[in-house]
Chain A
Amino acid sequence: MTIRTLMSTAAALTALAGPALADINIGASISETGPAAFLGDPEAKTLRMEVEKINAEGGIIGEPINLIMYDDGGDPNKARTFATRLVEDDEVVAVIGGTTTGTTMAMVPVYEDAEIPFISLAGAVEIIEPVKEFVFKTPHTDRMACEKIFEDMAARGFSRIGMISGSDGFGKSMQAQCKDVAEASGVEIVADEVYGPQDADMTPQLTNIKGSGAEAILNSGMGQGPAVVTRNHTQLAIDAPLYQSHGVASKQFIELAGSEAAEGVRLPAAALLVADQLAEDDPQKPVVVGYRDGYESETGEDVSTFGGHAYDALYILKAAIESAGSTEPAAIRDAIEATSGFVGTAGEVNFSGDDHLGLTLDAFEMLEIKDGNWTIVE
């Protein structure tokens, strides 16, 4: 009885907020709260803002988008339930989301079974390797970030590397990938330390790395950890230069670390962070400048690459529905896979049957922080 009452209340409420029949139902399960909230928050804001914009401009193939977005709080089990709900109850034709690798992987079986195209916003390689028919993703993989960083280190003549990684999913996954590609990239990992995502002081780990004789240090992590590592790196006056990962995704990092401590830190990042510094003829320039200006004026917050991933996913989907001329999930999937030359915030995307990421290393810029601002390393 109670189950029924509550459930039908839920159904009624959903129906109230629900669509007219002809709308294009696009689902999303994003971690707006929980430990991944600072990724999920800009993603959700981006989706709301851009869907509104697309609808104001007449929607996709003449139909407005009805965005059905749930907050999974970063809990994979909850994400899985929302995935079932999106497919079974909301009858969506495509889904964006999975802020974290955990929530993404929990949802994958549902969309594969239901044959609904799914564009993930999470980082790890395992999402698209091996290729799953209905699963795509927009962010660069952590493996690519490792390669980009090691390439730069090798070019500067560093071969002995110290690693310090966050113990969350992002940090651990990148730590594993970097160790995997280190040898092929010509660097040796001589120290390998870990910290908790909310730790306040990493000087013990950095002291050990300093003692190991590392010539450069790589911090794979996101959130507040990289800021603390950067400050501690300066506090201990370590000579080995510090590299951050693509998990450092907005201007906020420089504010948290302090521009003095952040001076000279390098990191691979999408062009979005250095929109103004791109050459005028760079095809990415209008895209990233447009998105950044829109986001910053709408929210009053610094733009982040995480929001950019959501932007890319939505517009890849829009382009696919337009080229398919249909809202059938199978047709949309085929059109997504046929995406080529799509210019987004992360770079140029070219999907194919055996590549559901579609980005190359060129999509990363190597940045260095100078005087509290990003500069592109030539």
Chain B
Amino acid sequence: MPELLQFLFSGLTVGAVYALVALGFTIIYNASDVVNFAQGEFVMLGGMITVFAHAAGLPLLLAAGIAIAATAVIGVALNKLAIEPARGAPVVSLIIITIGASIFLRGVASLVFDKQIHRFPAFSGDAPFRIGGATILPQSLWVIAGGVAVFIALWLFFTRTLTGKAVLATSNNRLAAQLVGINTNWVMTLSFALSAAIGALAGVLATPITNTSYDVGIALALKGFAAAMLGGMGNPKGALVGGILLGILEALTAGYLSSQYKDAAAFIVILLVLFIMPQGLFGARQTERV
């Protein structure tokens, strides 16, 4: 069984990255019903800013902090400049706006940074832990812990805090939320800041494993989006489970079936799940208002 265990460890590592991206999708979706296709660029920015700040001589922790803060500011700017002015636009327009934003951010990153691949050292070294004949890197545990911590924090935020409930209320009915005194603009700002910060955190935690470059965002956004939809959009539990499930699925397919078609297997499962459960695994059933 050490093979199976190794496949699961691999799936958990990769899945935790997907889950962190998917969690970022969740917050913005909850506040605004927008799926932000630029979420992957937040991950890229988190990694790249850390790399360059660290290379400029800052300690890793400080560099990471700066990266997360800077990305959060970029997230807020994205909301103010591109999402708020387009309020009420149809889904297809919003998809194009956020894809436009991701192409824009990628273009800026290629100019400000460079087009090379980068990495910074793992937080706790590269010596793997051996468990039952399989191995896992300390950095994988960091990523998994990061994913779980963000999930718990979000869950508490949405269920236990007034602000979190305000976010959900805004998503359900913006006008009603405003009527009961919720500052919906502030809710949106907060959501984008949080979402971008979580993306950047994913970039900081994952870069020692995945490496980073100006164009890593597209693939991550695709996988994160797929994971979020698999779990059911808008539900932190769905994002976490969807992400990890997707990672494990890929690893098991690569291990037991065919490494050529591991990405295909993931999408086939997503299609099948959506055919049976059109709202994803944990998504709320929605009825169309007439």
Contacts and interface: CB of A to CB of B under 8 A. Distances in A.
Interface in B1-45: 3, 6-7, 9-10, 13-14, 17
Interface stretch (A87-95, A96-104, A255-263, A280-288): A255-263
A208 interface: yes
Contacts of A194: 259-260
Nearest to A302: B116
Interface stretch (B61-69, B88-96, B203-211, B233-241): B203-211
Interface string B91-121: 0000000000000000000100011111101
A244 to B, nearest CB: 15
Contacts of B9: 203
Contact of A258 (B10, B126, B252): B126
Given A235-B128, A236-B135, A38 B211 contact: no
Interface string A186-215: 000000011110111101110110010000
B251 interface: yes
Contacts of B219: 196, 198
A41 interface: yes
A224 B260 contact: no
A206 to B, nearest CB: 9
Nearest to B3: A207
A356 B254 CA distance: 39
B116 A252 contact: yes
A352 B209 CA distance: 46
Contacts of A227: 117, 119, 211
Contacts of A200: 13-14, 17, 206, 209-210
B255 A208 contact: yes
A358 interface: no
A185 interface: no
Nearest to A257: B119
Given A193-B259, A203-B9, A33 B115 contact: yes
Given A200-B206, A224-B211, A37 B115 contact: yes
Interface in B229-254: 251-252, 254
A204 B260 contact: no
Contacts of B214: 37
A224 B115 CA distance: 12
B216 interface: yes
Contacts of A27: none
A207 B9 CA distance: 12
B88 to A, nearest CB: 30
Contacts of B137: 235
B6 A38 contact: no
A224 B213 contact: yes
Given A227-B211, A228-B211, A236-B135, A205 B216 contact: no
Nearest to A234: B126
A72 B7 CA distance: 38
Nearest to B121: A258
Contacts of B128: 235
A137 interface: no
A38 B255 contact: no
Contacts of A195: 254, 259
B28 to A, nearest CB: 23
Contacts of A207: 3, 6-7, 255
Contact of B117 (A193, A204, A252): A252
A208 B9 CA distance: 15
Given A204-B7, A235-B137, A37 B215 contact: yes
B259 A38 contact: no
B263 A196 contact: yes
A76 interface: no
A223 interface: yes
A37 B14 CA distance: 25
A301 interface: yes
Nearest to A256: B119
A41 B116 contact: yes
A10 to B, nearest CB: 20
Interface in A227-257: 227-228, 231, 234-237, 252, 255-256
A295 to B, nearest CB: 14
Contacts of B118: 256
B149 to A, nearest CB: 20
A163 to B, nearest CB: 11
Contacts of A169: none
Given A204-B251, A205-B259, A260 B7 contact: no
A339 interface: no
Contact of B110 (A33, A235, A236, A252): A33
B6 A260 contact: no
A260 B126 CA distance: 9
Nearest to B218: A198
Q: Find the residue from B110, B214, B216, B255 having the highest chain A CB count within 10 A.
A: B255
A38 B213 CA distance: 10
Nearest to A258: B126
A204 B255 contact: yes
Q: Find the residue from A32, A33, A35, A204 having the highest chain B CB count within 10 A.
A: A204
Contact of B260 (A35, A167, A211): A167
5 contacts: A33-B110, A37-B110, A198-B219, A201-B10, A207-B3
The list of the 3 closest CB pairs from A to B, nearest first, reads A204-B255, A200-B210, A204-B254
Interface of A: 32-35, 37-38, 41, 167, 193-196, 198-201, 203-205, 207-208, 211, 223-224, 227-228, 231, 234-237, 252, 255-256, 258, 260-261, 301
Interface of B: 3, 6-7, 9-10, 13-14, 17, 110, 114-119, 121, 126, 128, 135, 137, 206, 209-211, 213-216, 219, 251-252, 254-255, 259-260, 262-263
Given A204-B251, A208-B259, A235-B128, 15 more contacts: A33-B115, A37-B115, A37-B214, A38-B115, A193-B259, A196-B219, A196-B262, A198-B210, A200-B13, A200-B206, A205-B255, A224-B211, A227-B211, A228-B209, A252-B116
